[in-house]
Structure 1
């Protein structure tokens, strides 16, 4: 890891992370088509999202931070595994995603977050992971390919943001069954 960060640590997200997580996500809302949300969130509006992730189970929120003590610690990114669809038969499938602070991209933090997320999911009754990637987004395509995701299809012009239509490529990965 870069020397300017003491040590990157990964842990479950907590309510104390709400403001920096909201700020990080809002960067992508305002500046990119990576998310199809179009209006920035307040921490209060984002709180139900954060509370939907328990520390265990198939739906998780993992946070990477720079490892410094106290208020100096800074969130570098996060990874989630969420319900793929709300109907009960989909319960063994999850949708995964990673969001990084812009200055943390390309430094292995997304890889670290996914390593920890997939380690945790290996203990759960989860059969498949899916990822939707708004195109173009080569760094995300490379990350997901590195973790064994394969492209299964593309929704063409499925979302409109910044006055244009965007495609979303869908990727799938089988997950290990718990022992």
Structure 2
């Protein structure tokens, strides 16, 4: 049985592995330099300090299968009720409904914690992520063409949003 819980500092190596795998092989995370443990620790500590959640999905053996989080959309006061979120899974856990479980948990948490709008910034050809967001009622807000580059290819950025309350 899959359990979703708040991430612990002891989960950081597993989260780092998921992040670095996406940096090395994927286009969902537009970084090209792998993160160090210390960099990921700063990210974790900043989320805790700001009161932003980090949830992990674990199996019966407590293996981390994915994580979901949100943080500032923009760091100005006027955006304080808007967050940008992320959901990442290990490859073996993809296509099994785990993304929906993590997203449901994240949206429910946001609705209880003064979030008005959730924003997704998605690589425009990531059909799995787009379908996941549409399933949760996220609306398309527009595409910024050729906004980023990875693997020597220009990438388009799709924004989607959901008004929570």
Figure out how many residues of one structure are paired with residues of the other and give that number: 165
Greater helix content = 2
Aligned pairs for 1:61-140 (under 5 A) are: 61-68=54-61, 73-140=62-129
Give 5+ residue unaligned stretches, structure 1: 1-6
Residues 3-22 of structure 1: pairs in structure 2 closer than 5 A: 7-22=1-16
The TM-score normalised by the length of structure 2 is 0.96
Runs of 4+ in 1 over 4 A off after TM superposition: none
SS in 1 for 2:44: helix
Distance 2:133 2:20 in 1: 23
1:162 aligned partner: 151
The answer to whether 1:29 aligns with 2:23 is: yes
Larger gyration radius, structure 1 or structure 2:
1
CA distance in 2, matches of 1:136, 1:32: 12
| Equivalent residue for 2:37, pick from 10, 18, 43 | 43
TM-score normalised by L of structure 1? 0.88
Unaligned ranges ≥5, structure 2: none
Q: Deviations over 1:25-71 (max 9, x none)?
A: 111100011111111112112111111223994x2111001132xxx
